[in-house]
Amino acid sequence: MEEARKRFHHELDGLRTDLIRAAAETSEAIAAATRALLDHDLAVVERVFAHDRAVDELHVSIEARAYHLLGLQQPVAHDLRTLLAALRILQEIGLSSDLTVTIAKAARRSYGMELPPRIRGIIDRMGHQAGVQFRLAIDAFADEDENVANALSDMDDVMDDLQKELFRAIFDLCKADEAGIQQAVQIALVGRYYERIADHAVLIGKWVNFMATGELPEPPSREEPDPGQRTSDAR
């Protein structure tokens, strides 16, 4: 029995390590997607796609191993909560990765289109903020740090303020002709994608809190579909 428990914890540690690897791939993709958008760098777009493929491969492996541990090892208490949280956090990582692909595709669609400096600066800050929140969420998972996990909801106010600032800049700076309207829509959608990545970071924090306390997160609102929903279009 003791040997079986040691083997279980070894496999659980490996699963946690790979989950953090998937998150690291996504964190790099957030930064790369922002560079692709702001620098019109199509080579960086391909790097975002490569990060997403790596996340997909890890996703399949982690999910299969988690179900194996749940089905055959009979985990209890904290170990069971860790596995359940890992599966939900894996979903948030995957959705965030898909959002970086969507931003990269927006970079391709807007290739050669110059952004007003004010809007460029706000998008840069949104990309940075999304990356910071996502990395802190994964750090909270790796360290099982409830304090960092619970702070993520307050940090999300920064992203909300940036999105409002972006909308004001769009109304002030984008032209009312057809090209200007198309640009405004693309910029607004990109801002929404960054906001959703930050929301996924908050949800990761809530599942970290569940690991520690057993308190289930409140169900997310169903106001609208997540633009990062894993569909064939995101590939």
pLDDT digits 0-9 by tens, 89-139: 999 999 999 999 999 999 998 887 888 999 999 999 999 999 999 999 999
Residue 220: pLDDT band (50, 70, 90) is: low
Q: What is the mean pLDDT of residues 42-61?
A: 96
In sequence order, which ranges of 73-145 are alpha helices (DSSP H)? 77-109, 117-143
- Alpha-carbon distance of 74 to 169, in angstroms, equals 54
pLDDT of residue 74: 74
pLDDT of residue 229: 55
- Alpha-carbon distance of 81 to 77, in angstroms, equals 6
pLDDT of residue 177: 77
pLDDT digits 0-9 by tens, 177-217: 777 788 888 899 999 999 999 999 999 999 999 998 888 88
pLDDT digits 0-9 by tens, 5-16: 788 889 999 999
Residue 221: pLDDT band (50, 70, 90) is: low
pLDDT of residue 72: 79
**Dihedral of alpha carbons 112, 118, 124, 127, sign:** negative
Query: Is residue 171 within 8 Å of 103, Cβ to Cβ?
Result: no
pLDDT of residue 114: 85
Q: Which amino acid is at 130?
A: A
Percent of the chain with pLDDT over 70: 92
pLDDT of residue 113: 81
- Which of 201, 190, 191, 206 minimizes the C-alpha distance to 131? 201
pLDDT of residue 211: 92
The DSSP symbol for 233 reads: G
pLDDT of residue 233: 43
Q: Which amino acid is at 111?
A: Y
Query: Is residue 102 within 8 Å of 228, Cβ to Cβ?
Result: yes
Instruction: List, in order of start, the domains of the chain with CATH numbers.
Output: 2-234 (1.20.58.220)
pLDDT of residue 227: 53
pLDDT of residue 25: 97
Question: At residue 153, does pLDDT exceed 80?
Answer: yes
